Amino acid sequence: MKVKNIVIAGLGGQGVLKASDILADAAFRAGFDVKKSELHGMSQRGGSVSSDVRYGDQVLSPMVPPGEADVLVVLEETQVEINRPTLRAGGVLIGPDLLDPAALKNRKSLNVALLGAASTVLEIPHEHWLAALHANLAEKLHTLNEQSFAHGRAAALARSSAE
């Protein structure tokens, strides 16, 4: 399979890196070659954070080249425009406006909800998403995040059928 490029972006503390860990783990469990890369450090102090995940038969560079992301997931409205150049023409943007924050039981699970939305355009079987969610989150958070994932997935499907 040709390499799939996903960029997840937001602000420090929003769970960008947790989301990319879950995505990379799900793709890994699905049997793909996977590379995931981001910059730690200063970015953790509330600044802009973005993480690249690439999977396919063989991934070379761990970084998504500018303008080559197939999917861009953004957790914070102010971060949409500064990350848009990473998206290829025809790529899919999944932004926070997809969801009504009030519909989430816990707003901290926005990262997982938007992964649910992204899952509609990624070829990773559902069982691997679930396994990755479980492996990367504390047990007491499993139910909440499964619900958020399902909510985000349903919202994305509803939007795409509306379009």
As measured in angstroms, the least distance from the Cβ of 101 to another protein is 20
54/151 with CB nearer another protein = 54
As measured in angstroms, the least distance from the Cβ of 126 to another protein is 19
128 sits in which H/E element: helix 126-136
83/119 with CB nearer another protein = 83
Residues that bind another protein (CB under 8 A): 11-12, 21, 24-25, 28, 33-48, 50, 59-63, 65-66, 78-79, 81-83, 85
As measured in angstroms, the least distance from the Cβ of 123 to another protein is 18
Contact 96, 77 (CB under 8 A): yes
- The DSSP letter of residue 65 is P
The single residue listed with the structure tokens 């958020």 is 148
Structure tokens given for 144: 């909440």
Burial of 52 (0-12, 13-18, 19+ CB in 10 A): buried
24/118 with CB nearer another protein = 24
